[in-house]
Amino acid sequence: MPWAEQKHIPFCLVLTGTGTDVGKTVTTAALLASLLDHQDKAMAVKIVQTGIAEGSAGKTAASDSYHYRMAGAGAAFPTAQTLHSYPLAASPHLAARLVGQKLSCQELASEIRTFVSAHSDYDVLLFETAGGLHVPLNEHEDWLTLLPLLGFPVLLCAANCLGSINHTLLSLDALERSACKVLGLVLNQTHLCQDENERSILSDNIASLRQRLPHLPLSTLPYCDCEQRFQKLSQALIPLRELIVRSKTPKQATSLIERDRASLWHPYSSAEASAPLSAVRTAYANRLILEDGRELIDGMSSWWCAVHGYRHPHLERAISRQLAQLPHVMFGGLTHAGAIGLAERLKSHLPKQLNRVFLADSGSVAVEVALKMALQYQYGLGEKQRRRFLAPLGGYHGDTMGAMSVCDPVNGMHQLFSDCLAKQIFMPRPTCRFDQPFDPQSLEPAKSLLAQRGEEIAAVILEPIVQGAGGMWFYHPDYLKGLAELCQQAGTLLIFDEIATGFGHTGKFMALEWAGVTPDILCLGKALTGGSMTLAATLCTDTVAQGICAHGQVFMHGPTFMANPLACACAHASLDLLETGAWQKQVHDIEQVMRSELAVCATLPSVADVRVLGDIGVVQTKSPVDCSALSRYCIANGVWIRPFNNLVYLMPPYISPLEDIATLCRTIFQALLTTGTGI
């Protein structure tokens, strides 16, 4: 039965610790005994047991499961379980590796949810980890990676000894930064204490932690080594047991979706209609974890920005460090190292002529800045009649007023505002496909319009190589070469909008590299920060900057959060990852899988075209798809794809496993068949 459809889901609690030998197993067994004494149907589960051969867990006192069984002696149902056990008494990643296995947080989370579903007749399930929070499960993941994926509340266990305060506070801070809900804290006395000074230390630990953590329930377990110790210790955990009993009592709470619909308005949607909506609890790598526990393979990179996936530790550490130093400061009259370094790094990846960097806070604002730059540049030259922009049909540049004016006025999303927008000049989109020989005739519309109306055009603006939200159209690089020459002849600036195409999506670091063309103005955004913060940039040549500032003029634009230090730190971290060069093979491999797996879609009668470039895969249908039905099908089959109009497309995170890319492609084919679109 799917997780979301279960009528009863047990209350699940994870017991973890500040380190090894801090009393996690004693606490788990004592809490299990307390729950059983309360007549709750409960079970304790060791997620990974080391030092015990597979199949022997529970048969020897060295096994945690053995102690669970002792605590549950006499119960009429199983009270103990071990999911994975390995003979070497070492950290899980090493113990697993030595027997030819590799633990994965995604697989463990799925296994645990399946286990919970299979034990839906239980009231409480207690899951015990191994060692401390940062004990590795594999080369890149630890318990702090797994816990947010599960979403279960956490009980932290600590040994009451010298250093307890430090270890406990550090562990609680780590849990908080990982967005884990901490249900309580248990301090264990792990040995018999006969020294008066030591007793004073232990007593002070308890008092100090209670004073520092007044909001957190704190239980203490004395040292006990008798045969019935779990039953005796269970009495000390009655307050914690009562907290669990209250927490597992069903509450008549309004769902997140209902609360959302009562207050929020989503992009490109009606406030009245109820379009399909899913609540996301967390995300990791290339996976979205829904509030009900379902896991989706992400095919969209959250509108093309999360190229490194979600919760990448390098990005998170960069944000955390910056937060502790300088989260924000106004950029008017002030500067900081993060912004300066980011401008220098961006310039190092771009044509040397693009020498001035204006940092903004979103892609649409970057486009507004570019348009204002072009207009003020022409004004500075005395070309005041150049007040219009030339753009190809099929383009999309954002949803603010200036950006809307240069989007496709016929098939775009902004026809309603056409009477309010500045009147721009449009030409047919480039007809020369990326994968076909270049046809010079495709430049004729631009040549004709620049010849006829060049004196009123301030700049030409377009998305290089790939038109994004306007149609996912791929056109030939030589078109950009020819257009650049025409703009130079006409005295018109050339603006490239690389917000969607930049940072590797097309297989080049920047799409402009396909043509070897340098625009006068360049817009960047989306993947600039790897999808963890909002940041954009508009770059221009010294020539443009000097024209803007001619006659003592200044550029009148200043977003409040311009050059936000947190966003700059995140962009630096994203560039760190991109500069390793790993993205090149990742994007190449994704492209090869999509070419192979999406090809079958071309056999469907309703499909007009299938095209792939870099990590962008597009299935274009002859008529608009039923977006709601297709989205529901995809979610039901474990993938996240958001089609629009007659386009079903993919732009997954670069770190996506290739088997997930294949699954995304195959799901598109089946979705088109199942929803009737492919017939």
Residues 6+ apart with CB under 8 A from 437: none
The total of other beta-carbon atoms located within 10 Å of residue 119's CB is 18
Residue 131 — φ and ψ, nearest 5°? 70, -155
SS3 category, 403: helix
Read off the tokens for 252: 């008549």
Residues 6+ apart with CB under 8 A from 58: 65, 66, 68, 69, 80, 82
Read off the tokens for 170: 């550090």
Give me the sheet containing 536-541, strands edge to edge.
Answer: 354-360, 536-541, 521-524, 493-497, 457-462, 388-392, 425-427
For residues 245 and 40, the answer to whether their CB atoms sit within 8 Å is: yes
Compute the distance between CA of residue 157 and CA of residue 478 in angstroms, rounded to an integer.
64
Beta-strand ranges (E) seen in 521-583 are: 521-524, 536-541
Could you tell me which of 554, 564, 555 has the C-alpha nearest to residue 330? 564
Rounded to 5°, angle at Cα 21 from 16 and 24 = 35
* Residues forming a β-bridge with 617: 612, 650
Burial level of 564, CB count in 10 A (0-12/13-18/19+)? buried
User: Residues, the chain, total?
Assistant: 679
Residue in this structure with the two tokens 């396909």, named with its chain if needed:
514
For residues 520 and 544, the answer to whether their CB atoms sit within 8 Å is: yes
Compute the distance between CA of residue 186 and CA of residue 23 in angstroms, rounded to an integer.
9
Could you tell me which of 475, 470, 467 has the C-alpha nearest to residue 439? 475
Q: Which amino acid is at 496?
A: F
Question: Could you give the residue numbers annotated as active site?
Answer: 268, 396, 497, 526
Compute the distance between CA of residue 49 and CA of residue 95 in angstroms, rounded to an integer.
9
Compute the distance between CA of residue 642 and CA of residue 630 in angstroms, rounded to an integer.
8
Read off the tokens for 133: 């929070």
The total of other beta-carbon atoms located within 10 Å of residue 190's CB is 16
Read off the tokens for 134: 């940062």
Could you tell me which of 408, 362, 614 has the C-alpha nearest to residue 510? 614
